[in-house]
Amino acid sequence: MDGVPDHRRDQPLLTWSNVALALSFVVFDAVLSSAYRLGISSSLLSAALRCVIQLSVMALMLESIFKTQNPFGVVGLARESQSNQLRTSR
């Protein structure tokens, strides 16, 4: 009905192989940084790892919220996010 074939509805659009491919580019950049002695290879790798962990946790949280199909859960998450942004901007 919405243009998505039935065999693709249950498959995630982003898989771990996609994450591994993206990580390979970060590792390539870290190797180049080491080769040219730029001194940013460790910060690149730690930032990439932190990003994967944070996004994985957020994906798990959002998946559980959207599986409940409860609009109040989504609204509560949006309000919490908005209040966090207001606290950090002060």
Q: Is the pLDDT at 35 greater than 90, yes or no?
A: yes
- Tally of structural domains, the chain: 1
How confident is the model over 60-66, as a mean pLDDT?
81
C-alpha closest to that of 63 among 10, 21, 24, 26: 10
Using the Cα atoms of residue 59, residue 60, residue 61 and residue 66 in order, give the sign of their dihedral. Answer: positive
For residue 57, is it within any domain? yes
Radius of gyration of the chain (CA): 19
Average pLDDT score over residue span 50-78: 81
User: Count H helices, E strands: the chain?
Assistant: 3, 0
In a domain, 1, yes or no: no
Average pLDDT, the chain: 80
Domain residue limits at 14: 6-89
